[in-house]
């Protein structure tokens, strides 16, 4: 026998979620404005690779304005997860997101990977990110997404202590739920998945990410649409994630626009920013789920 033990009550699946206004499922198109930070966190030496840095800067400089124009045309509001470093390096780009009426959420300072990071360090990163978003955009976010979706078992408590309403980094359900922190306290969790992220479809950076195979927008949208249609039938919450430096390129953005327009046109689907979804879920009074460390 191993030394691992489960809690006496065990883990239970998430409860079904009732959606507002007669809708039977939910969807959200979220954007992670990683820019240079995601590369620098892993490989600080890449700061001297001008072409690599330009590949990442394409996001805030060129992709983001295009995506904001698309969202405006479709009258869709979204959530943008912004590392503090991106806010400091590209303040006008981040302010343009706020000016367009979208939600800004927290995504680390330098997109720090949190694997084996101690709670004190994680808290410092959270505070640094909060300070940057406040300083640049005047925003106090209610939402958080761990860089690389690597939440730690300390993160929910650290987020609650700072007044966050929700996280969007875990993968164990098709619908949002209340993630227990203590007997009295929880935060809303809005689950994601690698299959609904544009990174795996589009990202190639020599020596940094990808194999050199770059998928077509048609193939990426086919994958996402299949998941959307099936989740929709199950009353789930479809959370799509894209990066302006990837999906902001013209052909990909055009394909994404068509897909967002399709989802926005479905009468049974509630298309909303993640903050709105989290507030709705908080109002349902769901029983918190305990997810103990194995
Ligand atoms: Zn990211």
Tell me the domain boundaries of the chain. 22-282
Alpha carbon distance 141, 292 (integer Å): 27
Per-residue pLDDT tens digits for 8-44: 567 999 999 999 999 999 999 999 999 999 999 999 9
Residue 8 pLDDT: 55
**pLDDT at residue 54 is higher than 60:** yes
Residue 103 pLDDT: 98
The CATH fold of domain 22-282: TIM Barrel (3.20.20)
Q: How many angstroms does the Cα of residue 30 sit away from the middle of ligand 1?
A: 11
Per-residue pLDDT tens digits for 163-194: 999 999 999 999 999 999 998 999 999 999 99
Q: How many angstroms does the Cα of residue 22 sit away from the middle of ligand 1?
A: 33
Q: How many angstroms does the Cα of residue 38 sit away from the middle of ligand 1?
A: 6
Q: How many angstroms does the Cα of residue 277 sit away from the middle of ligand 1?
A: 20
**pLDDT at residue 3 is higher than 60:** no
Residue 47 pLDDT: 97
- Going by pLDDT thresholds of 50, 70 and 90, the confidence category of residue 153 is very high
Q: Are residues 271 and 264 in contact, defined by beta-carbon separation less than 8 angstroms?
A: yes
Rounded to two decimals, the pTM is 0.96
**Buried (b) or exposed (e) across 200-210, using 16+ Cβ within 10 A?**
ebbbebeebee
Closest CA to 219 of 202, 237, 242: 202
- Going by pLDDT thresholds of 50, 70 and 90, the confidence category of residue 1 is very low
Q: How many angstroms does the Cα of residue 194 sit away from the middle of ligand 1?
A: 12
**pLDDT at residue 2 is higher than 50:** no
Q: Give the environment of ion ligand 1: residues with CB less than 5 A.
A: 32, 34
| DSSP 8-state symbol, 105 | E
Residue 10 pLDDT: 77
Residue 4 pLDDT: 52
Q: How many angstroms does the Cα of residue 266 sit away from the middle of ligand 1?
A: 29
Closest CA to 276 of 188, 198, 195, 192: 188
Residue 26's DSSP bridge partners are 237, 270
């Amino acid at each position: 026998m191993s030394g691992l033990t489960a809690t006496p009550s065990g883990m239970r699946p998430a409860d079904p979620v009732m959606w507002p206004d007669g809708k039977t499922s939910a969807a959200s198109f979220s954007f992670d404005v990683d820019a240079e930070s995601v590369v620098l966190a892993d490989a600080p030496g890449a700061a001297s690779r001008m072409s690599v840095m330009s590949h990442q800067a394409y996001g805030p400089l060129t992709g983001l304005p295009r995506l904001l124009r698309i969202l405006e045309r479709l009258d869709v509001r979204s959530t943008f997860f912004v590392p503090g470093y991106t806010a400091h390096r590209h303040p006008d780009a981040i302010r343009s997101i706020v000016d367009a009426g979208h939600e800004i959420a927290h995504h680390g300072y330098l997109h720090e990977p949190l694997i084996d990071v101690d709670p004190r360090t994680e808290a410092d990163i959270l505070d640094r990110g909060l300070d940057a978003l406040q300083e640049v955009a005047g925003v106090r976010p209610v939402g958080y997404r761990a860089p690389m979706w690597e939440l730690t078992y300390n993160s929910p408590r650290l987020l609650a202590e700072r007044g966050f309403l929700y996280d969007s980094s875990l993968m164990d359900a098709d619908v949002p739920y209340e993630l227990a922190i203590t007997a009295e306290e929880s935060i809303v969790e809005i689950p994601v998945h690698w299959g609904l992220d544009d990174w795996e479809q589009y990202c190639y950076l020599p020596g940094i990410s990808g194999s050199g195979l770059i998928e077509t927008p048609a193939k990426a949208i086919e994958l996402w649409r299949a998941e959307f249609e099936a989740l929709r039938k199950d009353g789930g919450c479809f959370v799509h994630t894209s990066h302006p430096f990837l999906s902001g390129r013209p052909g990909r953005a055009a394909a994404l626009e068509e897909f967002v327009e399709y989802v926005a046109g479905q009468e049974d689907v509630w298309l909303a920013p993640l903050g709105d979804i989290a507030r709705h879920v908080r109002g349902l009074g769901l029983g918190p789920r305990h997810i103990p460390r194995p």
